[in-house]
Amino acid sequence: MVASKKKTSRLKNNKKLNKYAVTLIVFAAICFFMGIFAGKSIFTIDSDTFTNDEITIVGPIETTTTNSLFKIKASQKIYNYGNWCYLSGEVLDKNKEYLFGFGKELYRETGRDSDGTWYENKTSYSTVINLKKPGTYYIKLYNESESNPRQVGNITYSISAQKASNVPYVMLSIFSIIAGVILLIMANRAVIAENID
């Protein structure tokens, strides 16, 4: 009788854990799709191409809310291995004074090691900047490169306003899926153990 009550109680607990696990997994899926939606661009502010030796200034960009997010994408063709460039960006205030910077090295590399010949390319860059206060801003883009100018092509960029950051949604999604899987394992460990044996 006591063993039967314990078994019934365990089954109820397992059912509860299964429900919680499924709820967490569904919540993770919702967070994942919300993250995709949040990371979408609202509209493009500017999109253009400039040459390797040019400096381009985009703006004015007017923001009326705090924590306005802007996605910046840039790419450059690098024709041969062993060449590189550093794409630099600066956020300027309404007087075109420096506020903060961002950037990334782009390259085409090749080499040889004990496993043989390897190739590595990085020819595009994407970042999200946060303009914390309402106001007028400019974005300055330029290239720093010691490669032969004939070995690198023009730089193509786009700047777009973004709805929100998708990082919190992705983090919630990951946490929820891990917690859901742990609960599923806990609820079904007897079945798992039987199948292993």
> Do 181 and 158 have their domain in common?
no
The answer, as to whether pTM is greater than 0.75, is no
For 126, the 3-state DSSP assignment is strand
One domain, residues 58 and 150: yes
- Residue-level pLDDT at 3: 47
- Note whether 78 and 7 are same-domain residues: no
Q: Is the dihedral of CA 19, 25, 29, 31 positive or negative?
A: positive
Q: Which domain holds residue 20?
A: 2-36+170-196
Query: Is there a single domain that holds both residue 58 and residue 99?
Result: yes
The pLDDT of residue 80 is above 90: no
Same domain, 115 and 90: yes
Q: Are residues 192 and 121 in the same domain?
A: no
In the predicted model, what is the mean pLDDT of residues 44-72? 82
Same structural domain, 115 and 177: no
Q: What is the pLDDT of residues 102-120, one digit of tens each?
A: 988 888 888 888 888 888 8
Q: Are residues 27 and 51 in the same domain?
A: no
Is residue 2 very low, low, confident or very high in pLDDT (cuts 50, 70, 90)?
Answer: very low
pLDDT value of residue 197? 53
Residues 186 and 190: their CA atoms lie apart, in Å, by: 9
Together in a domain, 32 and 50: no
103 and 28, same domain (yes or no): no
Q: How would you class 25 by CB atoms within 10 Å of its CB: exposed for 0-12, middle for 13-18, buried for 19 or more?
A: middle
Instruction: Render pLDDT for 112-159 as a digit per residue (tens, 0 to 9).
Output: 888 888 888 888 888 888 888 999 999 999 887 666 666 777 888 888
Residues 130 and 48 in one domain: yes
Give the domain CATH number at 120.
2.60.120
- What confidence score (pLDDT) does residue 90 get? 93
Q: How many domains does the chain have?
A: 2
pLDDT at position 11 is 57
Using the CB atoms, write b or e for 131-160: b if 16+ within 10 Å.
beeeeebbbbbbbebebeeebbbebebbbb
